Structure 1
Amino acid sequence: MGRTRKRSTVANRAVAATAALVLGGGGLLAVNVYASAGEGRSGPSDQQRSRPEVRNAGQQVSTIDCPEVADGLPEDLPDRARGEVDLELARIDNRVTDAYQRLAQSRERIQQDPAFAENAILGPLRQERLASIERIAVAIGRVAERPQGMEGLAPCTLRGDDTQGQDPGDGQDGQGQDDGQDQGQGGDQGQDPGDGQGGQDQGDGQGGQGGQAGNGPVVGDFADIASVQPNVRAPRQRRGASTGTFTTSCGRNENKKFNPDNVIVAPGVRNGAHHMHDYVGNQATDAFSDNRTLANGRTSCRNQGDRSTYYWPVLRVQDGRDEADAGEDGGGKDRNVGRILTPTEVTLDFVGSPVSKVTAMPRFLRIITGDAKAFTNGLTNANASWSCTGLEDRELTDKYPLCPQGSDVVRTFRFQSCWDGRNTDSANHRTHVAFADDDGRCPNGFRAIPQLVQRVVYDVPPGSVFAVDSFPEQLHKPVTDHGDFINVFDSRLMTRMVGCINTGRRCA
């Protein structure tokens, strides 16, 4: 994908509307401080998340908060209904995105007339979701027992801003820094809309054209990694542990394979993710891939026995320079703007269990780690970690790291390492796999499999505003980071991997 370097007038205005976040080393990070209808300024913790409705005209609106319909599906979703169900779930995501775009264009009107939000945005969205939920229930009911009670997942609310008047530096050690103790707490600090602009909202109605998207990130989404206490602890190795490592080398997406599809969650749907993904490994992966096309696809992996698919949201620098997708789905149309950064390093390691041997993963096993909707869903499934090279004993989940000079940004995805022994996927794409507990043991009924640990490193220009791509209503929050994996190892290489891990060797 090519890049253009022209800076638009809109981008110049957007970039000019910044605040300086002071780093420990004396540097500055310039972050936009305006808040459009798409800029949330307080992420929810599990304890705080109560889906508040906006009840008065004076309360700022951040985003649309909708229950996750997939969570209401039966765990034993029949395979014959899966295609229709996945299509309707993708349609639901599309309707939420459309409603968010209407919200972003209507903030002032909603402040003046809160009933407008219900009549023009939330009401129609509820009816659209109800129709899709009904079609899901009918599809399941044709081949199994019809699910009950899913209608309660149709209504959405507007998330209000509960940090009005808070300055960018409040609660951050007096220097715009996070103290590092709120990892996983969703404690994003916000800022007053219009600071530095006389109240002008640059983001509404832009559609993400040029420069910052108007829906994040914000100052409170960043934290100085040096202020975070070491918090990475590995379980103690016990007798019988599998201590080996198998490394597969699949490049850094130098091929620039991007698309905004998600073949796991939204098979057969173009732009099912509403954000752009980096891909390494299988080069045939898109919305319409199936097991056959993946098995026959070319791979960027050095060992051709690994045709697995590895993908994650791209990381962009919002410096006013547009990427070539500025006017496309998954890019500017979905408020993902800025230059896409190619990683400087991608490491794909498969590691063992601290308490037992591992068993082979089934071919075409699908695993998602993290939650692309964690800002509105809550932190239950949030899992990706952020850190800096040289300081990887400390990690953040709900903040982007501000790294010291000479240190690079690191994203780490530790995938689920326990498998139910039967299914390669599940209705919500989660329950067929599980995380081990703090001691490294799998839940009852699950068996240990090689754990994929994916590490992606970026040379982010000093002082840059950067963010992962996200669904528009998720506001580019770091807690929404996630990774996806489809196992397409051939049987010989999988057997070698398991042998290496179980015998304590390091193999590649």
Structure 2
Amino acid sequence: MAAPHLILIALLTLLASGGAFATLTDRASAGRTAHPAPSPSAPEPTPAATGTPHHTPGEPPTSADFADIRTAPRAAPRPRNRRGASTGTFTSRCGRNTEGHRNPDNFIVAPGVANGAHHVHDYVGNLSTDAFSTDDSLRAADTTCTNGDKSTYFWPVLRDITATDDGADPDLNTGRVLTPARVTLTFRGNPTAKVTAMPEGLRAITGDARAFTNGGANARAQWTCTGFGDRVLTDRYPVCPGTSQVVRVLDFPSCWDGTGTDSANHRAHLVFPDRATGACPAGTKPVPQLRIRLAYDAPDAPGFALDSFPEQLHKPVTDHADFAAFLPPGLMERAVRCVNSGRHCG
């Protein structure tokens, strides 16, 4: 066995050489970027780990946001008409916004706030509509509608996102704005009762511009294609075959509380009828129900998208529309008579 003092000398020699090796390693590392050692704490959870997908505000739709209209669910049937139903229609003809009346305002939900909508709206009807519109300014303005209808009808634009931008947009909406090929504004009846006239200045909204993050409770828009109106999508854009056009269908609430022209949340004063029966809730009465139908010559999917708030990611479920009623009293009376008598006027 080696003497104890010899073992001690060997150990000291090893320690000295280890120190020299460490010194050489430090010198070799000089001039390189230092990287801190990993933190002993757990890393931040990734989107996949939490189940929450990662999204960049304003990012375009993906292929998952589109579906072949031929595989879409059948549209829910309209409630059966009962005794006393109002079965007629009245159509207001207001063009398709070839005038290019557009802005990112919404005087109903953000009055007096320029760019209060944070997405561009298409307008037909009243030619003066912007963030600062009032009842008086709307009454005094010109209109694109026939018969003197000064109502304002508006919705977020649809864009060709494969085309050159129509100018810088602070809210990350990009692409060329598509003018609708056809705009149809139809006031319909109620399957259980006669309708009553809307008051002048009645405000109405349908859908939810924040439905992607809010959930779909107030989502109402339907997407379809010409020739496929019996099939609809709500949370997907349609892939339309051949020369079929992309279609948006926006139905408005039509059960009025009989007092206000607006409410704090812009919904309580005018609500939807029961989905199954079409009857209005107690304490409300039916007014003519506005349906806006928009048809587009859109590029092939996924080359088009709605304008939206950046965090809503252009999702189709966020489609919505707004309306303020300024039909002259005589025209409103005519519309009510047509709807209640079962005629189709316009």
Same fold, TM exceeding 0.5? yes
Taking the aligned partners of 1:365 and 1:219, their CA distance within structure 2 comes to: 39
Which amino acid is 1:370 matched to? G
Aligned 8 A contact 2:61 2:302 in 1: no
Query: Are 2:142 and 1:252 aligned?
Result: no
Of the three residues 288, 306, 311, the one matched with 1:450 is 288
How far the C-alpha of 1:163 sits from its partner, in A, is 5.5
Classify the secondary structure of the residue corresponding to 1:292.
helix
Of the three residues 187, 200, 204, the one matched with 1:350 is 187
How far the C-alpha of 1:470 sits from its partner, in A, is 0.5
Distance 1:218 1:161, change over 3 A: farther
How far the C-alpha of 1:218 sits from its partner, in A, is 1.4
Aligned 8 A contact 2:164 2:175 in 1: yes
Structure 2 residue aligned with 1:384? 221
Of the three residues 290, 307, 310, the one matched with 2:153 is 310
Query: Are 2:317 and 1:505 aligned?
Result: no
Classify the secondary structure of the residue corresponding to 1:333.
coil
Aligned 8 A contact 1:405 1:462 in 2: no
How far the C-alpha of 1:57 sits from its partner, in A, is 2.5
Root mean square deviation, CA, Å = 1.8
Structure 2 residue aligned with 1:99? none
Of the three residues 329, 337, 345, the one matched with 1:491 is 329
Taking the aligned partners of 1:362 and 1:416, their CA distance within structure 2 comes to: 14
Of the three residues 245, 256, 281, the one matched with 1:408 is 245
Which amino acid is 1:284 matched to? S
Distance 1:57 1:219, change over 3 A: farther
Which amino acid is 2:44 matched to? A
Aligned 8 A contact 1:317 1:464 in 2: no
* TM-score using structure 2 length: 0.85
Question: Which blocks of at least 5 consecutive residues in structure 1 are unaligned?
Answer: 1-54, 62-110, 112-159, 165-192, 194-202, 205-212
Taking the aligned partners of 1:218 and 1:462, their CA distance within structure 2 comes to: 13
Query: Are 2:131 and 1:293 aligned?
Result: no
Structure 2 residue aligned with 1:426? 263
Taking the aligned partners of 2:171 and 2:233, their CA distance within structure 1 comes to: 26
Q: List structure 1 segments (4+ residues) > 3 angstroms apart after TM superposition.
A: 160-164
Taking the aligned partners of 1:56 and 1:405, their CA distance within structure 2 comes to: 50
Taking the aligned partners of 1:163 and 1:284, their CA distance within structure 2 comes to: 41
Aligned 8 A contact 1:417 1:435 in 2: yes
Which amino acid is 2:324 matched to? I
Taking the aligned partners of 2:340 and 2:163, their CA distance within structure 1 comes to: 49
Taking the aligned partners of 2:43 and 2:343, their CA distance within structure 1 comes to: 62
Taking the aligned partners of 1:488 and 1:342, their CA distance within structure 2 comes to: 24
Q: How many percent identity over aligned positions? A: 55
Matches within 5 A, 1:8-407: 57-60=44-47, 162=52, 215-304=59-148, 306-323=149-166, 326-327=167-168, 332-407=169-244
Flag the structure with more relative contact order, 1 or 2, with Cα contacts below 8 A and sequence separation at least 6. Answer: 2
How far the C-alpha of 1:58 sits from its partner, in A, is 4.1
Classify the secondary structure of the residue corresponding to 1:413.
strand
Question: Which blocks of at least 5 consecutive residues in structure 2 are unaligned?
Answer: 1-41
Aligned 8 A contact 2:79 2:278 in 1: yes
Of the three residues 300, 310, 315, the one matched with 1:477 is 315
Taking the aligned partners of 1:307 and 1:451, their CA distance within structure 2 comes to: 17
Taking the aligned partners of 1:235 and 1:490, their CA distance within structure 2 comes to: 30
Which amino acid is 1:454 matched to? I
Classify the secondary structure of the residue corresponding to 2:292.
strand
1:105-162 deviation digits (Å, cap 9, x = unpaired): xxxxxx9xxxxxxxxxxxxxxxxxxxxxxxxxxxxxxxxxxxxxxxxxxxxxxxx653
Which amino acid is 2:77 matched to? R
How far the C-alpha of 1:366 sits from its partner, in A, is 0.2
- The size of the alignment, in residue pairs, is 304
Which amino acid is 1:371 matched to? D
Which amino acid is 1:59 matched to? T
Classify the secondary structure of the residue corresponding to 1:220.
helix
Which amino acid is 1:311 matched to? F
